Structure 1
Amino acid sequence: MMPRIACSIRLALLLLCALSLGTRPAVSQDFDPSFGYGGLDGIGGVSEPEDPVSFAAQFTAATDDRPAVLMVTATIEPEWHIYSITQPKGGTKPTKLELAESKQFRPIGKWAAIPKPHSYVDNDLYKGVRIEEHEETVTWYLPIEIAEGVDPATLEIKGTYSTQACKQSCLQLDGKFVAKLGSGVPIGPIEVTDPASAVALGESSTKSKGPKLPEQPAEAGVFSAEGSVVTWYGWLDRGRVRPGDRVFLYLRAELPDHWHVNAYEEQKAELGNQPTLIVPKETTGVQYYQPEARAMVVETPSAVEGFGNLRYHEKTAVWVVPFDVSEDVGAGEFELNGIVGYQACELTEAGVGSCELESAVEFTTKLTVDPQATSFEPIGLTFSRGTYDQAAELAAVVAPTLKPAPNNLRIIEFGGEDTAKIGFVGMLGLALVGGLILNLMPCVLPVIGLKLMSFAKQGGESRSRVFLLNLAYVAGLLGVFLFLATLASLPQLGLSTTTDYDWGELNTETWFKVFMTVLVFTMALSFLGVWEIPIPGFAGSSTAAEMASREGYSGAFFKGILTTILATPCSGPFLGPVFGYTIGQDVFTTFMIFFFVGLGMALPYLVIGAFPSLVQWIPKPGAWMDTFKQAMAFMLLGTVVYLLSTLNEDYFIPTMALLVACWFACWLGGRLPITASGFSRGFSWFVGISVAAAVGFVGFGMEKEHELPWQEFTPSQLAEAQATGKPVLLEFTANWCPTCKFNLATAIDVAAVKQVVEANGVQAIKADWTDENAEIEASLEQLNSRSIPLLAIYPAGRSNEVIVLRDTVTKTQVLQALAAAGARENNPEESFQLKQTSEPKGDRLASND
């Protein structure tokens, strides 16, 4: 209910072009649509006698191989499930795990889960949102660092959990856990995201940002050689393949803090630290390619003269070795082997470095080739100890033969022929047929209906005029196709690489979708008689005048343009491979393909223009045309609904407001009779278009980028911001609160406030109450509020004070409150002084006048 009220208020505001509000503060409706029949607190409901989910927690101490790890295990009763901690927004309620603040430990990574959640898309309840569920048991684990001097045996890690357990209904479960030192449970790979900073050996170093590390499967093999700090993991992305498939072999090295492993090179170094050598051994039916690093590379000058630059990976290094399975290889099991030579080095915070002796690990695994394979699961590598000399000898022979992996993605056209086999002439035939079928697409039918009316009106015309009218229609139609071909050919013409458009790609542009929505809507209004399109014969005038007029060439040409534009969102049979065929082709081929698609679409009208007798079945012009025209108007309105569905939700309300404003403009411009003076008609249209333009400016102007550098609210974030000694601006808002949006747009997220925030180092925090949030509710209660909007400003250096602005605020009030909180630099209200009220908690803003 609340979002509808908000939309209605905003729509009315936009139509009136007014910037003042008199709405009451919006009060949150704490409602979760997925709460099922679990009942409300204090009221009861249908519930289970005992919680269907139990939680247990423990942690393991750090070892040489990995850091300390906190583990929280949920055991779930049969037929019940809970949702993941990574559940995307817009779906079900995610599980939340929160730790109590402590100086005895700190998280150094992110929560992960084993097993991974089962995921699916439920388009009935949560359209397009992936739902992630856990059943039976799940363990969430988090790498932590225990503070020096803390005995793990006496440490207790406290936290809370919040989850929804669902079967046929859902129960909200909230509780606390205490983790003590334990033996641990099996977990997956650990990813530390807060490693120690690197210390350069030389005076300067450069870091190249690598791609995101690939996710490591549970099936990965693991190996730690005696005397080495490096832990190796290895896997293939699939253990069962088909002939012709590309497979990826992953090698991952994990090192402790302050350690690194040298970067990959083809050959061993003559002097200095030795590089990593990755050498796959020759296997019949397999084509290996050069290894690719998937981790950040640190490059710094060596402290030893003559050794050049050092290149290495800190903490974690990942390499990928792509290889292709021959299309001629037969079914069976094949053994893959290789060796990795490496050297790990330590660099202490004092800048002192030392290295292990060069070492190596050999790897092996078995690959199954199955031409009928349909499921592809990763498979781990088996490791054993090797020698660096073995790796160097093999690298000298094999590495020079390895080439970079080509992009040989094989595209299989499901249910269709390979486009390469069809050839250019065959593709022209498909383009012609595909264009012909476009006439039957729903996007085009309303305009096709108008063309039928024009055929009716052409009865009695000379054959030459009928042909020329249809030729004008075809010219407009083909003109758009040739324009699109030009856009698609810009890169080949050397004119652009960023503004070329493929078929339908204009519909990815918001401005184009809004323009098309307005155009089709105003056409529908014309067909309903609200106004007249000033193009002869475009079916927009009154019934009598329409039957008396003859279709003009301009009207026919415009209809051809409109028909093609409305067709661009559609891709009928054959057009997918046809337009895909143009990728990488020369300009001539691209233009011919687009031309033949347009020719196919225009073919019926060329034939009817040449043989008008083919449409003698259409009734003669008469009153039926007015009824038919109005019926076409409703088809156009249906097209408007479709076009609105393609818009991002942020633009839905401004577009709706613009449509109503255009309705007003068409009504105002079309209400005067033809006998009215040109000045009167022109003035009416000027006023109507001005109102529509103003509504569009206000509506789309409100959808702007945030001015302030907002941070997301949490109690700890607020505490950290206050600890900086700078003023803190805390805005409570929600998507369902229209007054909040108005405050942000006119008083808070504005340039003048941004100037003060930046000049004074003000910490801007946004508490978004769109969804249920207990922390936000608690913060509002501390500020004596149960409703929003509310703006709280914490003065610099005065932790026991807070300035509160409630309900609708102005830019001047916000600037004054910031000045009172100590943010006076570059503030036009810098002289403002706060008069304290007698309220017991917090100060309301009072003028000093």
Structure 2
Amino acid sequence: MSIRRLGCLLVASVALLVTSVASGQGFDIDSFDPGGIDLGGFGADPLGGDPVQVNTQFTPATDERPAVLMITANIDPGFHIYSLTQQTPGPLPTTISLDQSDDYKPIGNWRSIPEPKKHVDEVVWPGQTIEEYEDEVTWYLPIEISKGVDVEKLQIAGTIEMQACDTGCQQVTVDFKAKRGEGVPIGPLDTSKSANVVTQSNAARGGRAPAVPQPPAEAGVFRADESVVTWYGWLEPNTVQPGARTYLYLRAEMPESWHINTYAKEVGDGPNRPTLVAPVSTDGLVAYQPQAIGEVTEKESPLPEFGSLRYHENEVVWRVPVDVSSDLKPGSYELKGLIGYQGCESTEDGQGTCEVSRAAEFNVKVNVGDSANVTSAAVNFTPAEYKSAAEQAKAIAGTLQIAPGPEQPTIIEFSGNSVKSDTSWFFIIGAALLGGFILNFMPCVLPVIGLKIMSFARQGGESRGRVFALNLAYVAGLLFVFMLLATLAAFYGYQWGELYTEPVFKISMTAFVFIMALSFLGVWEIPLPGFTGSGTAAQLASREGLGGAFFKGILTTILATPCSGPFLGPVFGFTITQPASMTFLIFLFIGLGMASPYLVIGAFPSLIRWMPKPGPWMDTLKQFLAFLLLGTVVYLLSTLHVDHYIPTMALLVALWFACWLGGRQPFTASASRKWGAWLSGFAVATLVGYFGFVFEVENELPWKNYTPAQLAQSRASGNVVMVEFTANWCPTCKLNLLTALDVPAVKSVVSANDVHAIKADWTNKDQEIEDVLLQLQSRTIPLLAIYPADRPDEVIVLRDTVSETQVLQALAAAGARASNPHHSFVLSRPPAEEEQLSDSGTLATMR
């Protein structure tokens, strides 16, 4: 999630706080039934089935009309579903997404028969029109079936998602494969330009784009001569048991503004060159139609002969499911095939230019054994012709099928942790209240609860009205966050704790908790009454203020979100299938349950008499709580991706410096001096955060990860190969990268001469890298090895610190002379400078 989106959600949540308690479709408090409730997909009896049954079919084209896809939903009595065009804010609309295929394409928009029943809501969304279906509805869409496709064998696959509601709601998701049928009565077709048709790859839940798998270190790499498209291929897992499934991944990467066309089973009649993936199965292995993972762009070409264009920009992965026969004996089996593709560049005028069509042959070993593993195997690529890929794709087009889905597992409900369909609303509300109360004792919030205990101690001498106001402010902060979480759950599909899956949020929370711990240790003091430490400011502002109480309530709830206590699992599951009003209501009662101790103490201040009087013990407790917060920091760090460890630690140290610089200013210092110290400190922290998370090396070379196979493949390509031996613990290596390798002049030479740049990372012990270093007569790094293009028996070696000039000269000596300012450089080697390698010929060491 971007920072901008988080900001939008925060603004939206503030606006929704005013009107969010009852914001669901058709919620009428006068007709509210607290008796039985259907908990939908989460708590309903699985034997009861879905309240909506779906039937699909298509009719082929006739002289009077095009082919039509029809989806009929039969709705159980008492239930209703919503239209495709239901506006927001409002209940969840029905969505229909179609799988990508070159066998057919939409040529219009969805319509329904009958039209949805409409009424204007006056309670939850005043003035909003609600569009519902009851009993039965058929959606129909005009489609065009590609020439040559056998309609008797064609299956149109997709997914329909609906929210079915009676007194409660549940989400219904149906995957369908429509076959030819007789059809049902429908109305006029809408053949205008498609506006409400969604393809499967773009139908990401919650509006989130599908994640494109990244290549593992073991992936094979291929790029054709003079092409901008780079392919990565891997098989995962590379060892499977008989009867199991593995996956072949083929990832294409292109520079910005470049794209390749979407997949097709075979080449059509038009001038477009689709991407072809034509696997050839070995006996015992069955490869299925590839599944695209990535965004699809669709637009009309300015050139009429090209028609509608559908392509992937920047990156895309095709995943090929491969089933292993259950009677296949253990051993190694080859999976091979061809890929065909064409890279095109989009220009501002919309026309663009394209490379010539290219192809590659791929092969990989599938290991069949008694036990499976989760490792990957590299796919080997060799250049081929697009014509060969087209012929292979045509040969298998009739037999290449969509992979069958996995068998549905048997669902066993454990009654001790589920909610029955006849459970009353009183139980749901009670579980929410009790679960919220138990959150106070979760380890996530204990440090902040300790602060609240100290504030109770301070309130011992306060008036009853002030005690009530302070606790009410604390509860307001607590409920504010619960309403924000309800907003995320109701309108953005986020579940409890799911914000902690967002790196930006986790890093922000890590930094926030860390500076809170620094405050508790006296490094600096939060400028809110009741949050100060033990210094002079604490003595002058020892009374807790409403702002400090509100802030503590916010912090308590945010820290509670990673935890889920008893009773909350079923309740949160219930909210997932409910309209917005139910979600807000449930979150409100969870918040009230968590706030209940403070509401009671605010109403009966005499309850705090058991607290000891304020004294030195409070400062000791605060410092102890600081270590609990630091433990929370360690936990949050453990949830980050490894790539974020170092930048986050650097950010924490910079924030430590900022807090130290601001906190060391005396209480009597002028405002300008205090502001200057704080701004200076946070300027340093901002700079560190920028270089750690945002700044990117503009001239970074297109490094590939070292493997013996990668090095052999690159050397066999006939290009200059440059291998940098480096490690994270090697500062000289980092200096070489920054000053001599990832620099504009070297990048220009690498690009102009198609130099293969390989990075051998020796951060962790790697015997293969160590063997190569010994072969190059070195036991230390950094070391740069450059293999000439036309002299396969030589290698040029640069040791220790190198300069940009040395690298350019070495590249020129190896044959990379285009765009090289040292293009005329010739390596002159006296006999003493020439050394013999054990099995690779001559080694020339540049000094």
With the length of structure 1 as denominator, give the TM-score of the two structures: 0.51
Alignment-derived partner of residue 631 in structure 1: 624
Partner residue, 2:345: none
Aligned counterparts of 2:407 and 2:823: Cα–Cα separation in 1: 71
Q: Deviations over 1:478-532 (max 9, x none)?
A: 11111111122225xxxxxxxx432111111222222212211211111121111
Amino acid at match of 1:444: V
Q: Which residue of 605, 610, 616 maps to 1:617?
A: 610
Distance 1:542 1:112, change over 3 A: closer
Fraction of identical pairs, as percent: 59
Tell me, in whole angstroms, the C-alpha distance in 1 between the residues paired with 2:336 and 2:788. 43
Q: 1:213 aligns with which of 321, 331, 354?
A: 321
Q: Which aligned pairs between 1:517-528 and structure 2 lie closer than 5 A?
A: 517-528=510-521
- For 2:553, which of 536, 560, 563 is the aligned residue? 560
Map of 1:444 onto structure 2: 445
CA separation of 1:459/1:707 partners in 2, compared to 1, >3 Å: closer, same or farther? same
Q: Deviations over 1:359-381 (max 9, x none)?
A: xxxxxxxxxxxxxxxxx9xxxxx
Which string of whole-angstrom CA distances, capped at 9 and with x for unpartnered residues, describes residues 127-153 of structure 1?
xxxxxxxxxxxxxxxxxxxxxxxxxxx
Look up the match of 1:675.
668
Q: CA deviation at 1:419?
A: 4.9
Contact 1:733/1:768 (8 A) holds in 2: yes
Return closer, same or farther for 1:450/1:764 CA change in 2, 3 Å cut-off: same
* Distance in 2 separating the partners of 1:207 and 1:665: 48
Look up the match of 1:508: 501
Deviation at 1:762, TM superposition (A): 1.2
Q: Who is 2:284 aligned against?
A: 189
Q: Deviations over 1:268-288 (max 9, x none)?
A: xxxxxxxxxxxxxxxxxxxxx
Highest CA radius of gyration, 1 or 2?
Answer: 1
Aligned-partner Cα distance in 2 for 1:434–1:704:
49
Q: 1:770 to 1:620 in 2, by over 3 A?
A: closer
* Aligned: 1:603 with 2:596: yes
Q: What secondary structure sits across from 2:460 in the alignment?
A: coil
**Other structure's SS at 1:422 match:** coil
Letter in 1 for 2:679: F
In 2, the alpha carbon distance for the partners of 1:522 and 1:218 equals: 57
Q: Shift in Å at residue 314 of structure 1? A: 7.0
1:648 CA displacement: 2.2
C-alpha distance in 2 between matches for 1:618 and 1:788: 63
1:673/1:446 CA distance change after superposition, 3 Å: same
Residues 634, 412 of structure 1: alpha-carbon distance in 2 compared, 3 angstrom cutoff: same
* Offset at residue 213 of structure 1 (A): 2.8
Within-5 A mapping of 1:651-662: 651-662=644-655
Residues 228-247 of structure 1 correspond to what in structure 2 (within 5 A)?
none
Query: Letter of the aligned partner of 1:542 in structure 2?
Result: G
State the Cα distance separating 1:191 from its structure 2 match.
Answer: 6.6
The residue identity in structure 2 corresponding to 1:451 is K
Structure 1's 701 and 750: CA in aligned 2 closer, same or farther, altered over 3 A?
farther
Report deviation, 1:833: 2.7
Q: Quote the residue 2:469 is aligned against.
A: 468
Query: 2:834 aligns to what?
Result: 840
Shift of 1:813: 4.4
Q: 1:422 to 1:113 in 2, by over 3 A?
A: same
Q: RMSD across aligned C-alpha pairs, in angstroms? A: 4.5
Given residue 680 of structure 1, which amino acid in structure 2 is its aligned partner? R
C-alpha distance in structure 1 between counterparts of 2:541 and 2:768, whole Å: 71
TM value normalised by structure 2: 0.52
Q: Check the 8 A contact 1:435/1:600 in 2, yes or no.
A: yes
CA displacement, residues 520-575 of structure 1 (integer Å, 9 cap, x when unaligned)? 12111111211111112213352773475321111111111100111111111121
Number of residue equivalences: 496
Residue 415 in structure 1 maps to residue 416 in structure 2:
yes
CA shift digits 1:238-272 (9 cap, x unpaired): xxxxxxxxxxxxxxxx99999xxxxxxxxxxxxxx
Q: CA deviation at 1:754?
A: 4.1
Say if 1:561 and 1:215 are closer, same or farther in 2 by CA, change over 3 A: same
Residue in 1 that maps onto 2:798: 805
Please give the residue correspondences for 1:130-209 in structure 2 after superposition, counting only pairs within 5 Å: 189-190=284-285
**Aligned equivalents of 1:255, 1:726: Cα separation in 2:** 28
Q: 1:435 touches 1:601 (CA, 8 Å); kept in 2?
A: yes
Does structure 1 retain, via aligned residues, the 8 Å contact 2:242–2:326? no
Alpha-carbon deviations, 1:824-845, whole Å to 9, x = none? 4455x45573553531134444
Do 1:547 and 1:621's aligned partners in 2 also have CA atoms closer than 8 Å? no
What does 1:619-768 align with in structure 2 at a 5 Å threshold?
A: 619-700=612-693, 707-715=700-708, 717-744=710-737, 747-749=740-742, 753-768=746-761
Query: What is the alpha-carbon distance in structure 2 between the residues aligned to residue 479 and residue 563 of structure 1?
Result: 11
Instruction: Give the whole-Å Cα distance in 2 for the aligned partners of 1:705 and 1:216.
Output: 45
Mapping of residues 358-373 of structure 1, within 5 Å: none
Deviations 1:783-840 (Å, cap 9, x if unpaired)? Answer: 221222211122332334433222234555444543443434455x455735535311
Counterpart AA for 1:836 = S
> Against the structure 1 CA distance between its residues 662 and 322, is the aligned structure 2 distance closer, same or farther, given a 3 Å change threshold?
closer
CA distance in 2, matches of 1:256, 1:117: 20
SS at match of 2:758: strand
CA distance in 1, matches of 2:425, 2:749: 64
Asked if 2 retains the 8 angstrom alpha-carbon contact of 1:531 and 1:667, the reply is yes
- Structure 2 CA distance for aligned equivalents of residues 694 and 635 of structure 1: 29
Structure 2: distance between partners of 1:472 and 1:215: 60
Residue deviations 1:431-451 (CA, integer Å, cap 9, x gap): 111111100001101101111
**Residues 1:214 and 1:749: Cα distance change in structure 2 (over 3 Å):** same
Q: Tell me the amino acid that sits aligned with residue 434 of structure 1.
A: G
Instruction: Quickly say closer, same or farther: Cα 1:540–1:417, change in 2 above 3 A.
Output: same
- Counterpart position of 2:118: none
**Where in structure 1 are there 5+ consecutive unaligned residues?**
1-87, 95-107, 119-186, 196-205, 222-253, 259-299, 304-308, 325-375, 377-408, 492-499
Cα 1:311/1:112, change in 2 over 3 Å: closer
User: CA, structure 1 residues 753+525, in 2 after alignment: closer, same or farther (shift >3 Å)?
Assistant: same
Residue 754 of structure 2 aligns to which amino acid in structure 1?
A: G
- Would the aligned equivalents of 1:818 and 1:824 in 2 still touch at CA under 8 Å? yes
| CA distance in 1 between partners of 2:616 and 2:405 (Å) | 74
Are residue 588 (structure 1) and residue 563 (structure 2) matched? no
